[in-house]
Amino acid sequence: MFRATSNVAILLHNKRVKQEVYMSVALTAHQISQALFETDPMNTCCKENHCFDEYDREAVGVKESLDKGQSLEQALIQEISEWFYNGEDFDTGKIDPIIKLLSERDS
C-alpha cells in the first residue's frame, strides 16, 4: 500500500514538473508582463494608472532566465528580488498569483 501511494506521489510530482517546464518554455515576455500587470505584485498601481508596460523589463529578465533553464518560480523570484529588493530575500508568496494566472492561461 505504501509503495503504491509513493508511486502516485512521484507520478503527480513528475507531471507537475513537466507541466511547469512546458509552460515556462512556451511563455513569451509579453505574457509574463501581462500577468505581472494584472496581478501587480509590487502594488505599483499600474492597472489604475494604465501603465501597461510597468513590468516589461522584469518580464524580459524572467523570459531570459526561463530560456536558460530556470523554473518560472526561480526566474520570478530572481527578477523581483533584483528589481525591487536589491537582491535581498522577500515574501515569495507575492509570486503565487502570477504563477497561478500563467498556469491557467496555459491550460
Domain spans of the chain?
2-106
Q: Which pLDDT does position 14 carry in this prediction? A: 46
Q: Which pLDDT does position 62 carry in this prediction? A: 97
Work out the angle at residue 96's Cα, subtended by the Cα atoms of residues 94 and 100, and round it to the nearest 5 degrees. 145
Q: Which pLDDT does position 18 carry in this prediction? A: 44
Contact 31, 97 (CB under 8 A): no
Q: Which pLDDT does position 105 carry in this prediction? A: 76
Q: Which pLDDT does position 26 carry in this prediction? A: 83
Q: Which pLDDT does position 58 carry in this prediction? A: 97
Q: Which pLDDT does position 106 carry in this prediction? A: 58
User: What is the Cα–Cα distance from 34 to 23, expressed in whole angstroms?
Assistant: 15
Q: Which pLDDT does position 104 carry in this prediction? A: 86
Under DSSP, is residue 107 helix (H, G, I), strand (E, B) or coil? Answer: coil
Work out the angle at residue 80's Cα, subtended by the Cα atoms of residues 79 and 83, and round it to the nearest 5 degrees. 80
Q: Which pLDDT does position 89 carry in this prediction? A: 93
Residues of the chain with pLDDT under 50: 1-19, 21-22
- Does the predicted TM-score (pTM) go above 0.85? no
